[in-house]
Structure 1
Amino acid sequence: MSNQADDNNLDVLIYPRYEGAVIFAVSRTGAPTELLDLLDAQGFTRHQEAIYVWHQLREDIPGLQAAGICARAHKALTAAGFNAHLDDRLIVRIG
C-alpha cells in the first residue's frame, strides 16, 4: 500500500477516487495534528488504518457542493503553510 501524498512529496492531496464517487484527502505519513484538524473542520471525515490516516467526504454531497468544500479546504491548508494539492477534476470553472 502506498501513500499518494508521500509519493508526490505533498502534505495533503485532495482527489476523487472510484470514478469520482468518493473524494479523498490523503495526508503525508506523520502529518501534524493541525493539518488533520483542519481537514476535520472543513467537513471531511477522518479514517485510520495502521500507519495510514486519510479523510473522505460523504458520498451524498452533491458535486458542486463537494467541489466547494474541497476548494475551501485547499485554501485553508495553503493559508496555514501546508503543501496541498487539489486535483484539477475538483476545480469548478464558472463562465
Structure 2
Amino acid sequence: MTARKEVTSRCAGREVTANQQRSSDHLIHGLSVDRYRQIYGAVLQPSVLSALSSSKPTDYVCGVLELKRRLWEALSRPQLQERLMEDGRVEVTEMFDLT
C-alpha cells in the first residue's frame, strides 16, 4: 500500500493544508513567496556568496552549513513531523518555533 502525504503547515495559529483549495496563494514554510524571497535574500547576501565561492573545500562545507543554519533560524526553525493515519495516509505537519 502506498501512503499519501498530506502537508499541513501551522504557523502563528494559522493552519493550511496542501490539499485545500487556495486562491493561487503559494506558501513556502507558511510564508508568501515574496516574503520567503526577502528572507532568503537577506540571509544569502551576494558578499557572503562570493566569499564562499573563493574558499577552500573544507571552508566551503562549513560556510554552506552556516548559511543553512541562518536560513533555518530566519524561517522560525521549521520542523516536519510525520504521523501514520489509520487509513494508511501519512500526515506531515510543519511546525515553527515562534518564541
TM-score w.r.t. the length of structure 1 is 0.35
Higher relative CO (Cα under 8 Å, sequence separation at least 6) belongs to 2
